[in-house]
Amino acid sequence: MALATAQAGHMPQLPDVRRILADSRLYWLVLPAFVFFLIFFVIPTVSLFLISFDKSVAGVVDIQWDFTLKNYIRFFNRSLYYEAAIRSIGLAAIVSVVTLALGYPLAYFVAKTRHPGRNTFYMILVLSAMQLDMVIRLFGLMVLMGDNGVINGILRDIGAIREPLPLMYNFFGAVVGLVQFTLPFMVLSLIGIIRSIHPSLEEAARSLGANRWTTFWRITFPLSMPGILAGTLLVFAISISSYVVPALMGGWKVIVMPLHIYQQIAEMGKWQFGATIAVVLFVTSMIAVYIYQRFAARTAGGRA
């Protein structure tokens, strides 16, 4: 204690210490991560972009420095490929809408749960569902939705159907799988914003004579618009780039862009064209982000 008091006399030296802390030696802290990202993130993505413009030669990976637009022309001229792009966008858009419709009530419910223990419990459920490997969840979904699966089994037992309903290995299955995949992301983007809406706003609407339904649609829902926009955008971006869900739940009948990428590389050895599809996939999701943010700036009224 006496030591501490004695040392307090040194306090005026503080700016000096601050200078030492901000010493250039601090740069050594960021250097490893910076170099790591430069070598293994920047260089690979830039070279992937470059080879997507390179002359297409099956089995050749190296950059040949023979740039052309042929790969992109091929992509937009073959219905096989541009239809996959349209299918990807359509699938992701449908999934975004369904996930919002399903995720909003859950987010609202969790946000309005005041009991701290129960609230934490719901958050752990949502976070665990999000962090669990998607392939494991797909196992569950496929056992549930197959022709001899649990749902068809129950329906057959109660005599509702004779022939099994085609629940998966089709577009419907891919939608269900992606909704299951993206639901936690939607819920987490919504909870924060719903929680931040002050209840006095809802109470004011109620006291002015609005019923619950009107209050929800006129007050709560519009005020949660920034979360809705962020959530649907995130869900769209995750859905459009998912490989494993369309591959398993679509049964190779719902051919989207990520499946084409894998086929071009792993099965045909067409590196340049695979890179082209990857670039188209990335640019498509970036365009979606851009359009959405333009739209969001107008609707969210500065809350985004």
Partner 1 sequence: MAEMVTDTGPAPRNGGWRPFGRRNGPREEPAVALPLQIGAWLAFVVLLLPVVIVVLAGLNSGDHLTWPPEGLSLRWIFAFFEASEFLDAYVFSLWLAVVVMVISTTLGTMAAIFLTRMTFPGRNLLRAYFLSPLILPGIVLGLALYVFYVSSGIGLSRTLPGLIIGHVLVTAPYVIGTVSAALFNFDIALEEAARSLGAGPFTAFRKVTLPIIGPGVAAGAIFAFIVSFGQFDVSLFLSTPNYTPLPIALYISLRYTFEPTAAAAGIFAIALVVISMLLTSRLINIRRFAGIKFS
Interacting residues with partner 1 between 92 and 131 (CB under 8 A): 101-106, 108-114, 116-117, 119-120, 123-129, 131
Contact, 230 vs 192, CB < 8 A?
A: no
Q: Which of 238, 223, 236 is nearest to 111 (CA)?
A: 223
- Which 6-35 residues touch partner 1, going by CB under 8 A? 7, 10-11, 13-14, 17-18, 20-22, 26-27, 29-30, 32-34
Work out which of 97, 132, 161, 287 binds partner 1, going by CB under 8 A.
Answer: 132
> Which position has the token pair 């490929």?
81
Q: Can residue 5 be called a binding residue for partner 1 (CB under 8 A)?
A: no
Site string for partner 1, 194-233 (x = CB under 8 A): -x--xxx-----------xx--x----------x--xx-x
Pick one of 167, 223, 255, 278: the residue that binds partner 1 (CB under 8 A).
Answer: 278
Among 55, 72, 93, 149, binds partner 1 (CB under 8 A): 149
Size of the site for partner 1 (CB under 8 A): 125
Q: Is 167 in the site for partner 1 (CB under 8 A)?
A: no
Return the residue of 56, 84, 173, 184 that touches partner 1, per CB under 8 A: 184
How far, in Å, are 94, 160, 257 from residue 291 at the CA level? 17, 45, 20
**Only segment of 78-86, 88-96, 160-168, 192-200 that touches partner 1 (CB under 8 A):** 192-200
Question: Taking the complex as a whole, how short is the minimal distance between the CB of residue 298 and partner 1, in angstroms?
Answer: 17
Among 89, 223, 228, 248, binds partner 1 (CB under 8 A): 248
User: Per residue in 184-206, is it b (16+ CB within 10 Å) or e — as a string?
Assistant: bbbbbbbbebbbebeeeebeebe
Give every CB contact of residue 283 below 8 A, 6+ residues apart in sequence.
none
Contact (CB, 8 A) for 56 and 68: no
Torsion of CA 248, 250, 251, 254, to 10 degrees: -130
SS3 assignment, position 54: strand
